[in-house]
């Protein structure tokens, strides 16, 4: 601490001091996104019709070849119509500090926030009749021991009846089956999908023959 003027503490003096203060850096998240919402559906559909996926001359001979062709063509079209963009998100670590400081004169809300922060809220507590981990382990071990004791003197030979049905081939999928599965599925997507599910559903009339062949390959 320093005083100006020196050795004189008065309301006319300037008193200054410093103390270590650590501020956590902002959370930086980098993501790769594609602007599919801005893609013209008509232009994308036209390019898709001219690709190998909609050409009868480019048909693969195995499931692996079908899959590689599907991924490569759609990835190429995705890079052409919706190129990857890097987005940086920065978030400050001040939520709980701001919340607690804002409730400094509200003890009840402050304790609720502290209980939530420390994981001591009523919703996170176990029920009174909920068994502990040790009780569950003891119950499991006792059941296993009882089964072993009951079957200790029995024969270990198992006789299986001969099968009366023979499975020798798969039934081919129809275009109607494939369409029903795709249209009935959720529209969620992940980074591994070469084409978002909602865009796939929109372009399904063009892709349906190829996907059906892929399923039957």
Span 63-108, pLDDT tens digits: 899 999 999 999 999 999 999 999 887 766 677 778 888 888 888 8
Instruction: Indicate the Cα dihedral angle 115, 118, 124, 130, nearest 10°.
Output: -110
Dist. CA 204–CA 186, nearest whole Å: 15
Residue 125, pLDDT score: 58
**If pLDDT is split at 50, 70 and 90, which confidence band does 132 have?**
confident
Is residue 2 over pLDDT 90? no
pLDDT tens-place string over residues 6-24: 777 676 778 777 777 666 6
Burial class (CB in 10 A: 0-12, 13-18, 19+), 109: middle
SS3 56: coil
How far apart CA 41 and CA 199 sit, in angstroms, is 8
Tokens of 153: 């003197």
pLDDT (tens digit per residue) in 190-217: 888 899 999 999 999 999 999 999 999 8
Q: Check pLDDT > 90 for residue 59.
A: no
CA 216 to chain centre: 29
Q: Looking at residue 18, what is its pLDDT?
A: 79
């Amino acid at each position: 601490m320093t005083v100006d003027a020196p050795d004189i503490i008065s309301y006319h003096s300037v008193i200054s001091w410093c103390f270590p203060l650590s501020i956590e850096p902002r959370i930086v998240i980098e993501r790769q996104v594609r602007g599919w919402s801005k893609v013209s559906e008509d232009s994308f559909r036209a390019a898709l019709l001219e690709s190998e996926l909609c050409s009868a001359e480019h048909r693969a001979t195995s499931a692996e070849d079908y899959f590689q062709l599907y991924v490569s063509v759609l990835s190429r079209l995705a890079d052409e119509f919706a190129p990857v963009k890097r987005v940086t998100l920065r978030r400050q670590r001040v939520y709980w500090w701001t919340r607690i400081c804002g409730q400094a004169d509200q003890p009840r809300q402050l304790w609720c926030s502290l209980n939530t922060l420390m994981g001591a809220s009523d919703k996170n507590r176990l029920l009174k009749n909920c068994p502990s981990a040790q009780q569950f382990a003891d119950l499991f071990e006792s059941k296993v021991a009882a089964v072993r004791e009951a079957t200790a003197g029995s024969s270990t030979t198992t006789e299986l009846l001969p099968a009366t049905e023979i499975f020798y081939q798969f039934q081919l999928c129809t275009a109607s089956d494939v369409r029903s599965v795709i249209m009935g599925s959720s529209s969620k997507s992940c980074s591994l999908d070469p084409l978002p599910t909602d865009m796939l559903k929109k372009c399904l009339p063009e892709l349906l023959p190829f996907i059906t062949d892929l399923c039957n390959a």
